[in-house]
Amino acid sequence: MNPSIRIIPCLDVTEGRVVKGINFTNLQDAGDPVEMARVYGLEGADELTFLDISASTGNRQTTYDVVSSTAEQVFIPLTVGGGVRTVADVDKLLRAGADKISVNTAAIQRPELLSEITQQFGAQVLVLSVDARRGATSSSFELTTHGGTQGTGIDAIEWVEKACDLGVGEILLNSMDADGTRAGYDLEMIQVMRPHISTPLIASGGAGALEDFARAIDAGADALLAASVFHFGVYRISQVKDFLRSAGYLIR
């Protein structure tokens, strides 16, 4: 879909700090989100994704403050997600400096939220985060909530088709099976989903080697999201981009 591929570091933030674990457990502190965002911006990240993984516990003000501080430091698109439940939440995050908003659990509970957001702000601000894992559904991929900890019994493909019909601007496809493992993106999941997604597809979960980024593009991803390989210095964004350029991919 997109001829030029985007590289997007993801900051999982809890209580004002960036953390990273495996399958959302055993979280390690990875640093200050504002400083990390600034560095990633300088290193050539195309966008940043900022997920408040403790949002459901209720301390939203920390998130708004961090988003505002981050937006002052970076001049690339900033997507913010975690605990977004209403159009008012979207409005407040956009005012704090976010460019796009990611929704997940609240949209599963009330799909009309997707069309409400796009009608008020436009499809370009709405990213649907899809946390999927292998399960007993018709496509063998099940939608999960609460950071991949709770199954829904909903088929992931049926959900992304519905979401595309409701007008989302992008799909962020997170493989709960691959998350944090550095064993490679979930190529099977990307390949199975791609024909059903009419918007750009951001692949997430499992980046470990430079070749993993190329394989995900070949499987159908338009953008590549990664966290631990960048946070813990395995690769710099420039290394990933140089590798992909040298392999013939069109990179921003």
Catalytic residues: 12, 131
* Residue 113 and residue 164 in contact, taking contact as beta carbons nearer than 8 Å: no
Least Cα distance to 244 among 1, 62, 3 occurs for 3
Residue 18 token pair: 């960036």
Q: What's the distance, Cα to Cα, between the start and end of the chain in Å?
A: 14
3-state secondary structure 116-164: HHHHHHCHHHEEEEEEEEECCCCCCEEEEECCCCEEEEEEHHHHHHHHH
* Residue 81 and residue 102 in contact, taking contact as beta carbons nearer than 8 Å: yes
Distance (Å, whole) CA 63 – CA 125: 18
For 194, which DSSP code? G
